[in-house]
């Protein structure tokens, strides 16, 4: 299993495209985190990821997550509102694998990629990553007041 956590770099090279906001998902910047699932050919890993995520809709909502599933060029919102998105543009901007391969990406509220996985991730792992982000800490403090 491949898991690349892009969050937590001690020094960010802003010329590195890994830290540039994702243009095709700009409508979500500073409003939502976005979890993008690219379906594999037999769709088993994508279905497993989808089922795991949707089992905790409250957790998704608390973390301002929008979940998108991309199959080919089509984009289907699984959780949260999303209209007029181009699956090919998202695939290109995220430098995702070829059509038919599974991958999932977490995009932070700042519009940058925070996590890339090649196998489904549990809600516990995903939520722990989000909850460790500075923006989430601020949100949690505001909610407690």
Its pTM stands at 0.84
Mean pLDDT across 16-20 = 56
Res. 9: pLDDT tops 70: no
**CA 75 → CA 24, 79, 110, 131, distances in Å?**
12, 12, 21, 27
Going by pLDDT thresholds of 50, 70 and 90, the confidence category of residue 33 is: very high
pLDDT (0 to 100) of residue 91 = 92
Q: Which of 108, 109, 90 is nearest to 37 (CA)?
A: 90
pLDDT at residue 26 is higher than 50: yes
CB atoms within 10 A of CB 109: 20
User: For the segment 56-77, what is each residue's pLDDT rounded down to a tens digit?
Assistant: 999 999 999 999 999 888 899 9
* Mean pLDDT across 34-53: 92
Share of the chain above pLDDT 90, in %: 63
Contact yes or no for 103/115 (Cβ under 8 A): no
pLDDT band at 107 (very low <50, low <70, confident <90, very high): very high
| Section 24-43 average pLDDT | 92
Looking at every residue in the chain, the average pLDDT score rounds to: 86
Calpha distance 2→65 (Å, rounded): 22
pLDDT tier for residue 29 given thresholds of 50, 70 and 90? very high
């Amino acid at each position: 299993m491949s898991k690349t956590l892009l969050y937590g770099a001690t020094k960010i090279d802003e010329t590195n495209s890994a830290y540039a906001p994702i243009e095709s998902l700009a409508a979500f910047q500073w409003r939502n985190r976005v979890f993008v699932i690219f379906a594999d050919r037999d769709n088993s890993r994508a279905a497993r990821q989808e089922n795991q995520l949707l089992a905790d809709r409250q957790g998704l909502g608390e973390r301002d997550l929008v979940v998108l599933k991309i199959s080919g060029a089509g984009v289907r919102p699984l959780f949260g509102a999303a209209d007029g998105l181009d699956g090919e543009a998202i695939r290109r901007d995220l430098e995702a694998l070829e059509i038919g391969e599974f991958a999932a990406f977490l995009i932070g509220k700042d519009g940058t990629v925070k996590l890339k996985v090649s196998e489904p991730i549990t809600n516990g792992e995903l939520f722990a990553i989000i909850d460790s982000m500075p923006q989430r800490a601020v949100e949690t403090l505001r909610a407690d007041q």
